[in-house]
Amino acid sequence: MRHLLIYDMIEAVHRSGSIRKAAEDTNITASALNRRIQAFEEEFGSEVFERLPRGMRLNPAGELLLHHIRLQRQDMARVHSQVADLSGIRRGHVKIACSQALLPYFLPREISKYRAEFPDVTFTVNVRDRIQAERDLVNFESDLALVFEPAHMVDFEVLYAVHQPVMAVMSAAHPLSSRKTLRLRDCLEYDLVLPASQFGVRVLLDQSAARLDRKLEPALETDSFDMVRHFAAYGQGIGFQIPVGLNALARPDMAFVPISERDVAGGQLYLGHLRGRTLPVAALKFAQQVATALTA
Amino acid sequence: MRHLLIYDMIEAVHRSGSIRKAAEDTNITASALNRRIQAFEEEFGSEVFERLPRGMRLNPAGELLLHHIRLQRQDMARVHSQVADLSGIRRGHVKIACSQALLPYFLPREISKYRAEFPDVTFTVNVRDRIQAERDLVNFESDLALVFEPAHMVDFEVLYAVHQPVMAVMSAAHPLSSRKTLRLRDCLEYDLVLPASQFGVRVLLDQSAARLDRKLEPALETDSFDMVRHFAAYGQGIGFQIPVGLNALARPDMAFVPISERDVAGGQLYLGHLRGRTLPVAALKFAQQVATALTA
DNA sequence: GCATAGCGCTGCATTTTATGCATCATTAAG
DNA sequence: CTTAATGATGCATAAAATGCAGCGCTATGC
């Protein structure tokens, strides 16, 4: 899109912090780039960059403009995808911010399934915590977020939500492994493997423990859910995870037992996008597939 | 904005239906315009116009593109207004779609008040019925809508809503003029002056009459609320209007009496904008003023 | 404290792009 | 069958963007 090149240039200058560096990325001379920036500011009616001795920095007007540029580009991508869809083609790229729990089974399965039907759609998956996921949407770095217990939800428009009880994860040989449900106090008798405090499961567990006047003292605290599972699998410890991150068939050596909702209420897994956005066709259809999969 | 000129050209061709006519509006030759359209379509990756023997018409892809163009322009206007606001200046143009009831007193007063503080802000006010108002928002022909009992509300994002009882409007000499409230059946004894069926007040009255197993048979039906008021003022007839369209001080020769809510439930006056839009500063601030005025 | 390296900016010749003019092919209307 | 529209195109010209070389400025480092 030749007529939008100036936007690329502005972003390049913003990224690199100087015209001369940005000129290399843009395949243009610094002088030409400089004049295009100046011409744009002239038309725009206001400076967009602060001129510092060591380079350029966006001023407040520039920050506003940058947001417009990103919005504009997103919407153009949406138009392209809808136009492609008119002719039956489905192309595009879907950027997803998700909680760790979605990584081992759920998202790989859903993405494979989707790409089996539409091989020209590509994906980016970024792991983001409950706060970063929403920030990703605001910065247009993700189209969709699939997050357990997101933090603010102000710019987050919910497409689908599903309840997820908290499950205890342990070795199949564990004394508690044959129970149908567990009380939280049962678990506290054993070594605990807990996710770090920024994770939704941990927040729910901490709250529940506080109601029992207990404090959780994990034998192992980690920011890796893989670590939680594997440590629990090989010892006497008990880990915690939500059902979407578990797959009983794949791990006959492990047992997954729900914690009674009387103790730990469980939480919601939310699928959503930036408030007010119209998603590209590929992202929208993928979201619909995910919603269906979460229903089942 | 030179880099967005191609969008103006596309819109000009869309409006006039041919390149040659559009060329005049654009101050450019038909041949140059033709080639810019072709170059754009090449970059865009798809034709945007159908070539007919008598001119050009947008194809489905073009319709999608046109929507993007309008969205894009709106958002750029918002950025400009926010940038102006950074320097304490408030400029801009506010486009309002409103019900007729707002015309005689409310909007003139509010616009004057606003412009007393910000004289560089200009306004467009278009009268739209309950259906057209929302369509206006979707086509980006209005920033704000102020509508009594709007029809669909799917693309309508509510900023403020206020209840409006239905008022009987009559000459000060009318036998019922001194009542504190009126029952609907009292009114049916007299000549009725009713707005046409597309108006919210009429819809409410028709529903209420139906509950009494009566059918409203107006002596005068009109699409002008001015007509309703003036006809009622000079005869024995009774008209109907919502409070925001009335001003007792301005018309000592008239009486305004609320209809009992047991008979006619009244309706909501909604202030809103297109779902998901970020308004320009001027429109946003004006909306806040309107909301405050409606509260009082 | 002074040289240096990096920055944005600018005059000028050159290249690239856009435009205008004249004209063609096509088609619906009279 | 003519006519009067339409969009498309070849070509010379006008306009715009670019590259090069160099200027003035300022924080940094010896």
Mean pLDDT, 10 residues at a time, chain B of 296 residues? 94 93 91 94 94 90 95 94 87 89 89 89 88 90 93 89 94 91 91 88 91 86 83 85 86 91 92 90 93 90
Torsion B197-B198-B201-B207 (CA) sign: positive
pLDDT at A226 (0 to 100): 81
* Residue A151 pLDDT exceeds 90: no
A39 CB inside 7 Å of strand D: yes
Residue B277 to residues A296, B136, B284, B292, Cα–Cα distance (Å): 35, 14, 11, 21
Q: CB-based contact (8 Å) between B160 and chain A?
A: no
Most B CBs within 10 Å: which of A68, A70, A74, as the mutation test of the B interface? A68
In DSSP terms, A164 is beta-bridged to A267
Please list, in sequence order, all residues whose beta carbon lies within 8 angstroms of the beta carbon of residue B219, skipping any fewer than 6 positions away. Answer: B191, B192, B193, B237
> Region A76-81: what's the mean pLDDT?
94
CA angle A273/A279/A282 to nearest 5° reads: 115
Residue B49 to residues A161, B28, B45, B61, Cα–Cα distance (Å): 41, 19, 13, 8
DSSP reduced 3-state for A147: strand
Q: CB-based contact (8 Å) between B91 and chain A?
A: no
Nucleotide nearest to B33 (CA to C1'): C19
Query: How far: B55 CA to C29 C1' (Å)?
Result: 14
Return the structure tokens found at B91: 């400029």
> Region A163-167: what's the mean pLDDT?
95
pLDDT at B251 (0 to 100): 83
**Residues in chain B, total:** 296
> Region A259-273: what's the mean pLDDT?
93
Tell me the pLDDT band of A290, cut-offs 50, 70 and 90.
very high
Map tokens 């006056």 to a residue.
B269
Q: How far is CA A272 from the centre of its chain?
A: 10
Return the structure tokens found at A278: 């119209």
Q: CB-based contact (8 Å) between A82 and chain B?
A: yes
Q: CB-based contact (8 Å) between A54 and chain B?
A: no
Most A CBs within 10 Å: which of B64, B81, B155, B279, as the mutation test of the A interface? B64
* Residue A159 pLDDT exceeds 80: yes
Are the Cβ atoms of A80 and B6 closer than 8 angstroms? no
Amino acid making up residue A51: R
Q: How many CA atoms lie within 13 A of B220 on its CB side?
A: 20
Please list, in sequence order, all residues whose beta carbon lies within 8 angstroms of the beta carbon of residue A31, skipping any fewer than 6 positions away. Answer: none
Q: CB-based contact (8 Å) between B276 and chain A?
A: yes
Question: Which chain B residues have a beta carbon less than 8 Å from that of A67?
Answer: 79
Amino acid making up residue A192: L
Query: In terms of DSSP bridges, do strands B238-241 and B167-171 run parallel, antiparallel, or are they unpaired?
Result: antiparallel
Q: How many CA atoms lie within 13 A of B117 on its CB side?
A: 11
Are the Cβ atoms of A3 and B1 closer than 8 angstroms? no
Q: How many CA atoms lie within 13 A of A80 on its CB side?
A: 14
> Region A13-30: what's the mean pLDDT?
92
Return the structure tokens found at A116: 């089996």
| Chain B closest-CA separation from residue A24 CA (Å) | 22
Winning range, highest mean pLDDT, from A60-69, A96-105, A130-139, B218-227: A60-69
pLDDT at B9 (0 to 100): 95
Q: Which nucleotides of strand D lie under 7 Å from a protein CB?
A: 5-10, 17-22, 25-27
Q: Any idea of the CA torsion for B152, B158, B163, B167, to the nearest 10 degrees?
A: -60
| Chain B closest-CA separation from residue A248 CA (Å) | 42
Tell me the pLDDT band of A37, cut-offs 50, 70 and 90.
very high
Closest residue to C19 (CA to C1') is B32
* Residue A249 pLDDT exceeds 80: no
For residues B200 and B187, what is the distance between their CA atoms, to the nearest angstrom?
Answer: 19
Return the structure tokens found at B290: 């309107």
Contact A37, A29 (CB under 8 A): no
Contact B68, B11 (CB under 8 A): no
Query: How far: A149 CA to D1 C1' (Å)?
Result: 77
Q: Which residue of A has its CA nearest to B85?
A: A61
Direct distance between the N- and C-terminal alpha carbons of chain B, in angstroms, rounded to an integer:
42
Nucleotide nearest to B21 (CA to C1'): D6
Cβ contacts below 8 Å, chain A against chain B, sum to 63
Amino acid making up residue A195: P
Tell me the pLDDT band of A34, cut-offs 50, 70 and 90.
very high
Most B CBs within 10 Å: which of A5, A47, A80, A140, as the mutation test of the B interface? A80
Return the structure tokens found at B15: 């409006």
DSSP reduced 3-state for B98: strand
Contact B48, B66 (CB under 8 A): no
The model carries a pTM of 0.76
Question: Between B19-26 and B30-44, two packed helices, what is the crossing angle to 10 degrees?
Answer: 100
Q: Which residues touch strand C (CB under 7 A)?
A: A 2, 13, 18-21, 30-31, 34-35, 37-38, 51, 53-56; B 27-29, 31-32, 35-36, 39, 53-54
Nearest to B115 by CA among B135, B94, B136: B94
pLDDT at B196 (0 to 100): 86
Q: CB-based contact (8 Å) between B173 and chain A?
A: no
Query: How far: A80 CA to D8 C1' (Å)?
Result: 26
* Ordered strands of the A156-164 beta sheet: A121-127, A92-98, A144-148, A267-274, A156-164
Question: Which chain B residues have a beta carbon less than 8 Å from that of A155?
Answer: none
Tell me the pLDDT band of A90, cut-offs 50, 70 and 90.
confident
Contact B270, B147 (CB under 8 A): yes
pLDDT at B277 (0 to 100): 87
pLDDT at A92 (0 to 100): 86
Q: Which residue of A has its CA nearest to B277?
A: A276
Q: Any idea of the CA torsion for B140, B146, B147, B153, to the nearest 10 degrees?
A: 50
A54 CB inside 7 Å of strand D: yes
Please list, in sequence order, all residues whose beta carbon lies within 8 angstroms of the beta carbon of residue A195, skipping any fewer than 6 positions away. Answer: A201, A202, A221, A222, A223, A225, A228, A240
Torsion A180-A186-A191-A197 (CA) sign: positive
pLDDT at A235 (0 to 100): 77
B3 CB inside 7 Å of strand D: no
pLDDT at B124 (0 to 100): 87
Indicate the residue of B46, B61, B68 with minimum beta-carbon distance to A75: B68
Contact B147, B100 (CB under 8 A): no
Nearest to B108 by CA among B79, B146, B140: B146
pLDDT at B92 (0 to 100): 85
Residue A220 to residues A33, A175, A193, A229, A239, Cα–Cα distance (Å): 54, 20, 5, 11, 9
Return the structure tokens found at A55: 């380079």
Please list, in sequence order, all residues whose beta carbon lies within 8 angstroms of the beta carbon of residue A229, skipping any fewer than 6 positions away. Answer: A169, A239, A241, A251, A254
Beta strands in A25-91 (DSSP E): 49-52, 55-58
For residues A98 and B99, what is the distance between their CA atoms, to the nearest angstrom?
Answer: 45
Return the structure tokens found at A262: 């009387």
B53 CB inside 7 Å of strand D: yes
Are the Cβ atoms of A68 and B60 closer than 8 angstroms? no
* DSSP assignment string, A184-211: HHHHTTS-EEEE-TTSHHHHHHHHHHHH
Q: CB-based contact (8 Å) between B1 and chain A?
A: yes
Question: Which chain B residues have a beta carbon less than 8 Å from that of A1?
Answer: 43-44
